[in-house]
Amino acid sequence: MLGCSRVDPPTVTPATPVPADPEIKLESMQVECDGMLGALAAFRTCENLEDEDREDLDDWIERATRDMASSRKANPEPNAQKAIAAACRKATESVQAATERCRAGPKPKVD
């Protein structure tokens, strides 16, 4: 006869919590967003970009310049300025990574 027995699941000890990333020391909204514009301009000089990519970057630079001018004119409250600065920093880091990838060689051709 088969008996039913209850087997308790193994006890698992929780892992130590992963600490939060340290808070990033941000500069002012203007400094961070100017950094993003500089990163876009540097990306534009990558010798492996295609003409279409450069045209897209020109449009991004123009749009970002207009948006930042509007932000400065609106003079958002400090928390909003900090959020804008953080977004510009994040974009700067992404563009810098794209620039490194671009300098490593031309992007693969899609058939």
Which residue ranges in the chain fall short of pLDDT 70? 1-4, 111
Task: Please give the Cα distance from 40 to 33 (Å, whole number).
Answer: 11
pLDDT at 23: 84
**Per-residue confidence (pLDDT) for residue 10, from 0 to 100:** 83
For residue 65, give the nearest of 77, 73, 54 by alpha carbon. Answer: 73
Distance separating alpha carbons of residues 37 and 94, to the nearest angstrom: 12
Amino acid 2: pLDDT = 58
Distance of CA 17 to CAs 12, 14, 54, Å?
15, 8, 44
CA distance 43 to 35: 12
Record the pTM: 0.76
Q: Where are the domains of the chain?
A: 29-103
Residue 97's pLDDT is 97
What does the alpha-carbon distance between residue 62 and residue 17 come to, in Å, rounded to a whole number?
44
